[in-house]
């Protein structure tokens, strides 16, 4: 009887100790290193979700790569939506600060991306709520860099950072 009580208390102590180690470490890992997310919507077709509503791709989001806000043109990134902070959107980076971009459907024909901002677009033009609708977005809203598709298994692949040739900026700022 006494032995069982001592064992129960020891078990509780070990459980709590493990809990207070595992939860912060896991949360920090998911916030700072990498996490996975399901992609919804058709704005990045055909790169992501080519099947439409049949199957949603699950992508690996890499936070570590963007911890210094370093992105390249052509990267697929996830960011906090500037119009709705509760939502994250996934788009491709088309232009960085200092570039002059020719827009599709924006109120200005040519836009120069201001300092600390970037221009993002979905691959499926016309079905995408992106910078052509809300203008350049601040780099501070950057959430992660989508590097791989993990599910469904037949779509396992590394996402390439390729800029569509027709969307190359008119003028880029040489660093």
Partner 1 sequence: MLRGILGKTIRLLGYTLQYGCIAHCAFEYVGGVVMCSGPSMEPTIQNSDIVFAENLSRHFYAIQRGDIIIAKSPSDPKSNICKRVIGLEGDKIFTHSPSDYLKSHSYVPRGHVWLEGDNLQNSTDSRFYGPVPYGLIRGRICLKIWPLNDFGFLRDSPNSHRFSGGGLCLPILHFLGKL
Catalytic (active-site) positions: 43, 91
Residue 94 CB: number of other CB atoms within 10 A? Answer: 24
For residue 24, state whether it binds partner 1 (rule: CB under 8 A). Answer: yes
**Nearest distance, CB of residue 81 and partner 1, angstroms:** 7
Buried b (16+ CB within 10 A) or exposed e, 58-83: ebbbbbebbeeeebebbbbbbbbeee
* Options 8, 18, 51, 140; binder of partner 1; rule CB under 8 A: 140
- By CB under 8 A, name the one of 8, 10, 18, 31 that touches partner 1: 31
Three-class secondary structure of residue 142 per DSSP? strand
144's tokens: 């992660």
DSSP bridge pairs for 144: 78
Nearer to partner 1, 14 or 162 (CB): 14
Closer CB to partner 1, residue 64 or residue 69?
A: 69
**Out of 82, 125, 168, 172, which residue is the one contacting partner 1 (CB under 8 A)?**
82
Q: Tokens 């809300």 sit at which residue?
A: 134
Contact set with partner 1 (CB under 8 A): 20-21, 23-25, 27-29, 31-32, 68-69, 80-86, 114-117, 137-142
């Amino acid at each position: 009887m006494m032995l069982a009580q001592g064992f129960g208390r020891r078990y509780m102590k070990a459980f709590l100790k493990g809990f207070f180690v595992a939860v912060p470490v896991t949360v920090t890992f998911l916030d700072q290193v990498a996490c996975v997310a399901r992609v919804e919507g058709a704005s990045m077709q055909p790169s992501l979700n080519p099947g439409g509503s049949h199957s949603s791709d699950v992508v690996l989001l890499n936070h570590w790569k963007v911890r210094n806000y370093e992105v390249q043109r052509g990267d697929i990134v996830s960011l906090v939506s500037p119009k709705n902070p509760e939502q994250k959107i996934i788009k491709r980076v088309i232009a960085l600060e200092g570039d002059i971009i020719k827009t599709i459907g924006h109120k200005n024909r040519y836009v120069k991306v201001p300092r600390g901002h970037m221009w993002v677009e979905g691959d499926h033009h016309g079905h995408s709520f992106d910078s052509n609708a809300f203008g350049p977005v601040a780099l501070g809203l950057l959430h992660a860099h989508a590097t791989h598709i993990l599910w469904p298994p037949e779509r396992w692949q590394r996402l390439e950072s390729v800029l569509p040739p027709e969307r190359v900026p008119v003028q880029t700022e040489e660093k």
